[in-house]
Amino acid sequence: MNLYESYGAGLRYADFLERYANEGQKQRWRQMHEQVSLDAAQREMLASFRRSVHVLCLAGAWCGDCINQCPIFEHFAALAPVIEVRYLDRDDNPDVQCELQINGGNRVPVVVFFSEDGLEACRYGERTISKYRQMVRDQVGDMCSTGIAIPGDTVLAQVTEDWLNEFERVQWMLRLSPRLRQIHKD
């Protein structure tokens, strides 16, 4: 399956929500979008991105994990115009859903990063390490404590940093790609 073709069929954030979210879901997405914040160093780093990155996000407007994470991507794209995110509804795209299963399940959000010319760089999703650490603490207890969580940091701030690390990793992967450096003569 050519996932880059699916990227081309994806919707922008606002269009995705308009088409798939009911009013209650739209409100939850708006509230989460308002809660996301990036510090000066994060904003500066995003502004330094130079390589175009096309990002396909398989999501569901109804999905709590999507509501809690996808607005983060929009903040990144607003600060780094080279990031273009497109959304596909999981249930309306069963072929993409099947291709992007995680651990044998239909998970969302799942993100696929592409170079400017449509080559897949990597996949990431459906929850970040910080979210899983919180879930382990909540569901299993302290017996599996990693000690890595920073006291006082909200899970949202940690998840935002997790996603930013992945977006940054992809940016540097593409920035240092010999193939793309030859094309851009840099």
Structural domains of the chain sorted by starting position, each given as residue range(s) with its CATH number in brackets: 3-184 (3.40.30.10)
Question: Residue 142: its pLDDT value, please?
Answer: 59
Residue from 117, 121, 120, 144 nearest 133 by CA: 144
Helices (H), 10-108: 13-20, 23-35, 40-47, 64-79, 94-99
The pTM for the full model equals 0.91
Residue type, 77: A
HSE at residue 147, side-chain half, CA atoms within 13 A, is: 0
pLDDT in tens, 11-25: 999 999 999 999 999
Burial class for 104, CB neighbours closer than 10 Å (0-12, 13-18, 19+): exposed
Low-confidence ranges of the chain (pLDDT < 70): 141-153
In degrees rounded to 5, what are phi and psi of residue 82?
Answer: -75, -10
